[in-house]
Amino acid sequence: MKILIDADACPVVDITVDTASEFGIECYMVCDTAHFIERENAVTVTVEKGSDSADFKIANMISENDIIVTQDYGLAAMCLSKKGVPLNQNGLVFTDKNIEKLLYTRYVSKKIRMAGGRTKGPSKRTREQDEDFKKSLRSVIEKLKSKEGV
């Protein structure tokens, strides 16, 4: 098991790296050349700047039971197909049961924006969201470790 972070604009990098370190799990932060992200206890993987280049790198690095932190529904779907465990910055664990609806919602929102409409953006991040993410990440790690018998 390892943790991969879609690190471009990820608000929970520090929480993820600290939690991975606490559990002794390898942690990788994947970002493009437009960002410079380094943290102790994590490996930075830098890819060329380009549409979805970090997503495809992460998708190629995934093994079964790896944890992926991402806000991207498309990447989450790719992770699920490889038996990874994706979760978002608020602690939502993506599953085969919720990903289809999330992808459809993303599609509808994009159609609205392309037609000149507006969709509501995210609100300011709260301490409660950070706590929810941390609880969810810890829960996923503990569940996977017990599954592995560690």
**Cα gap 146→65, rounded to integer Å:** 12
Q: pLDDT tens per residue, the chain (150 residues)?
A: 999 999 988 999 999 999 999 999 999 999 988 788 899 999 999 999 877 889 999 999 999 999 999 988 889 999 999 999 999 999 999 998 887 877 667 656 677 777 888 777 667 899 999 999 999 999 999 999 998 765
| Domains of the chain with bracketed CATH | 2-95+126-148 (3.40.50)
Report pLDDT for 115.
83
How far from chain centre, in Å, is Cα 139? Answer: 15
Report pLDDT for 18.
98
Report pLDDT for 104.
60
Report pLDDT for 121.
67
Contacts of residue 92, defined as CB under 8 A and 6 or more positions apart, other chains included, come to: 98, 136
Opening angle at CA 36, ends 71 and 46, nearest 5 = 75
Inter-CA distances, 123 with 30, 55, 96, 126, 143, Å:
25, 24, 27, 9, 30
